Amino acid sequence: DALGPTVCVGEILVEIVATTVGDGFLEAQPLVGPFASGAPAIFISQCGRLGGKAAMVGAVGDDDFGRVNTDRLKRDGVDVSAISIDADYPTGSAFVRYRADGSRDFVYNIATSAAARFGWSQTVGDLIDRSGHLHVMGSALSVPSAREVIEKAVDIVRARGGTLSVDPNIRRELKLDEDTERRFSKLVAAADLLLPTGEELERAAGVEGEAEAIRRLFEMGVKEIVLKRGVNGATYFGRQGDRIDAPAFVVQEVDPTGAGDCFGGAYLTCRRLGMSQKQALTYASAAGARNVMVLGPMEGAGTRQELDAFIASTERRR
């Protein structure tokens, strides 16, 4: 943490959630929201709540949806100085409704919202120049403005001795053009910490099979891998062949959105605060589990005290 804050770059959204289960939005229905959201924002919120130095780069509109986000992140202790306020475009949004089988219907306004309209600026540069860690979502590489900021920031943060974590959240089916694919591989290879799910692990490595994918990623240059397996827990893999399995906590799932981002934010923050992989895994598993107990993508993100209480009072799966 001494080198400076953890910075996350990417989309800031509000999420509005249907309160009934069913198919889509073709008729009038009860909704609840706005909730602060956007995977990078969820990640950085969890970092801040856990007491790590944290800062966010992105954009919101000059509207209440934007203020929901900036007020929330400020309360979490996140530096919001590099969140720009777009005078012309509204804050990004996602309407979501869960179907009976657990899949989701979305109506997004991201690409044509403030969320996708930010770039390098003096303020962003000043923040990156004093940052110690950068966290990147793979999906951001397909947004040109975010890509420019991320690639510049990676070079600056690493040059000053900082570190990089990557959540390669790109679906298996998603075909990237050759140039973006190359940039994605370069980013993955530079990661000090990679935080994939099983499918993303194979996608990032470009090979099938967990063991083979892990081997390939270390070969590419990745330093540390933490694999997220939902209710089946998580596993840390080290370059020396070491591994630690962490079972998930037993909770009642209300809203699965944001589990992976809270998990990642907690793991990274604990590591930067000097904790062992094992202890970081415990906090991360608690952060992911606690977040799914509450409606809203980051409403269940816990403070250190809340996570300690959760860990002490909650059973783990066998």
In degrees to the nearest 10, what's the CA dihedral of 316, 293, 304, 288? 70
Question: Which CB sits closer to ligand ATP, 46 or 113?
Answer: 46
Query: What's the CA gap between 22 and 20, in Å, rounded?
Result: 6
User: Which string of x and - marks every residue 167-206 that binds ligand ATP (by CB under 6 A)?
Assistant: ------------------------------x---------
Q: How far is the CB of 200 from ligand ATP (least distance, A)?
A: 8
When asked if residue 93 is in the footprint of ligand ATP (CB under 6 A), the reply is: no
In the set 217, 261, 272, 296, which binds ligand ATP (CB under 6 A)? Answer: 261
Question: Which CB sits closer to ligand ATP, 6 or 285?
Answer: 285
When asked if residue 22 is in the footprint of ligand ATP (CB under 6 A), the reply is: no
Question: Chain centroid to CA 142: how far?
Answer: 16
Question: Chain centroid to CA 34: how far?
Answer: 19
When asked if residue 10 is in the footprint of ligand ATP (CB under 6 A), the reply is: no
Query: Residue 13 is encoded by which pair of tokens?
Result: 């959204």
Query: Residue 118 is encoded by which pair of tokens?
Result: 């930010």
Question: Which CB sits closer to ligand ATP, 93 or 131?
Answer: 93
Q: How far is the CB of 178 from ligand ATP (least distance, A)?
A: 26
In the set 289, 298, 301, 307, which binds ligand ATP (CB under 6 A)? Answer: 289
When asked if residue 253 is in the footprint of ligand ATP (CB under 6 A), the reply is: yes
**Count of residues in contact with ligand ATP, rule CB under 6 A:** 22
Residues 6 or more apart whose CB falls under 8 angstroms from that of 72 comprise 36, 45, 298
Alpha-helical runs (H) found in 50-168: 64-75, 122-128, 144-159
In the set 168, 288, 296, 302, which binds ligand ATP (CB under 6 A)? Answer: 288
Interacting span for ligand ATP (CB under 6 A) from 118-126, 131-139, 155-163, 245-253: 245-253
Q: How far is the CB of 251 from ligand ATP (least distance, A)?
A: 5
Q: How far is the CB of 265 from ligand ATP (least distance, A)?
A: 11
Query: What's the CA gap between 207 and 203, in Å, rounded?
Result: 7
Task: Find out whether 154 and 97 touch, Cβ atoms under 8 Å.
Answer: no
Task: Find out whether 176 and 148 touch, Cβ atoms under 8 Å.
Answer: no
Amino acid letter, 112 = T
Q: How far is the CB of 271 from ligand ATP (least distance, A)?
A: 16
Q: Is 32 left (phi over 0), alpha (psi -120 to 50) or beta?
A: beta
Task: Find out whether 107 and 95 touch, Cβ atoms under 8 Å.
Answer: yes
What is the contact surface with ligand ATP in residues (CB under 6 A)?
Answer: 197, 228-231, 233-234, 248-249, 251, 253, 256-261, 263, 285, 288-289, 292
